[in-house]
Amino acid sequence: MKAAYIHIPFCEHICHYCDFNKFFIQSQPVDEYLRSLEKEMANSMEAAGHPELKTIFIGGGTPTSLSAAQLERLLDSIHRILKPSESLAEFAVEANPDDLSAEKLDVLKAAGVDRLSFGVQTFEDELLKKIGRVHEQKDVLVSFERARKAGFDNISLDLMFGLPGQTIGHLASSLDTALALGAEHYSVYSLIVEPKTVFYNLMKKGRLHLPPQDQEAEMYELVMRKMEEAGIGQYEISNYAKKGYESKHNLTYWNNEEYFGFGAGAHGYINGKRTVNAGPVKHYIDLIEQSGFPYKEKHMVTKNEQIEEEMFLGLRKTAGIDKECFFEKYGRSVDDLFPKVLHSLEETGLIVNTNKNVFLTHNGKLLGNEVFQAFLGEL
């Protein structure tokens, strides 16, 4: 079984930190894009032999920037082409608090969407303005309640820390507000300043003032502590959930399993091949018209690359790498492949290496990137 990611690259506004493939929706050929997306899905499913799907995730951009009619068209095409069956374990959609109307919620619910992911980032209105968000705290509260009334009982809230001007107090307040809502899932990410973003340009000019690294680490520890106190389990470096509400789609990535990537700029991983679609909307549409597929990059992943990916993706999970599963996939044991790295990381207190699995310690979570990099180039 495979997973499917579907990218909607349109937004009503562009956030200062976002480096995802996105465009202002005004004057964009949205309907033409949806037609091309349908063609890509149909061609890709046929080429892959119409595998059964276990999860579907519609992300962006902002999927809910589409009109209700466009959303309905998209969801109808998903059912017609991807043919999700009763075995579909999760059907998730990203949503913005400021454009999720009751009508759109009804469209999503009628199509079988069973998980919503709200891009909140912070509940501090002044901070929201600083990072280029146009919604306010009240919009989140209204949209959350509206989603509950529409029957959604699996909602995730996305939050960020390490934002310019953000204090420990700001973060604590946002976490308290988020937890008081009683969502089933929380994703809490540290800000990473990426090229081609407003924040990157400000940083180059010396005008972006971020919390120091030690304060950012303190923020991460606050997140972990607050979640634990609330009974929300950490199952991945940046993700927390009530039991049974872990993101099944995202676990596809962390388990290094295969998935379709549909839409402009989407990444896919099918039959051992990683693909990257063209990003610009017009280029994407043109490629679909010319060849039926929008790939700008294709790479057949070697076994050594698969193993490296298995390590740095799997170690993101709190449970870490299951040694038995690893051996079944690759015919080699983790300990035989990485004896020196494992010994070194265990000696420095960054991992725990048992007979059954390898996982990050508390300090390992704080220094995750150092741990992941240690496995690269070792084979």
User: How does DSSP assign 302-370, residue by residue?
Assistant: PHHHHHHHHHHHHTTBTT-EEHHHHHHHHSS-HHHHSHHHHHHHHHTTSEEE-SSEEEE-HHHHHTHHH
Tell me the domain boundaries of the chain: 2-254, 320-374
pTM here? 0.95
Q: 């240690």: which residue's tokens?
A: 374
Q: What's the confidence (pLDDT) of residue 202?
A: 82
CATH class of 2-254: alpha beta
- Phi/psi region, residue 296 (left: phi>0; alpha: psi -120 to 50; beta: rest), is alpha
Q: What's the confidence (pLDDT) of residue 22?
A: 66
> CA torsion angle for 344, 350, 352, 357 (degrees, to 10)?
-90
Per-10-residue mean pLDDT, the chain, length 379:
96 76 82 98 97 97 96 98 95 94 97 97 92 89 97 98 95 98 98 85 86 95 98 98 98 98 98 97 97 97 97 98 97 97 97 98 96 92
Q: What's the confidence (pLDDT) of residue 337?
A: 97
Which stretches does DSSP call E strand in the chain? Answer: 2-8, 10-11, 23-24, 53-60, 90-95, 115-121, 155-161, 185-190, 233-236, 239-241, 259-262, 267-270, 273-277, 295-300, 321-322, 351-353, 357-360
Q: What's the confidence (pLDDT) of residue 27?
A: 86
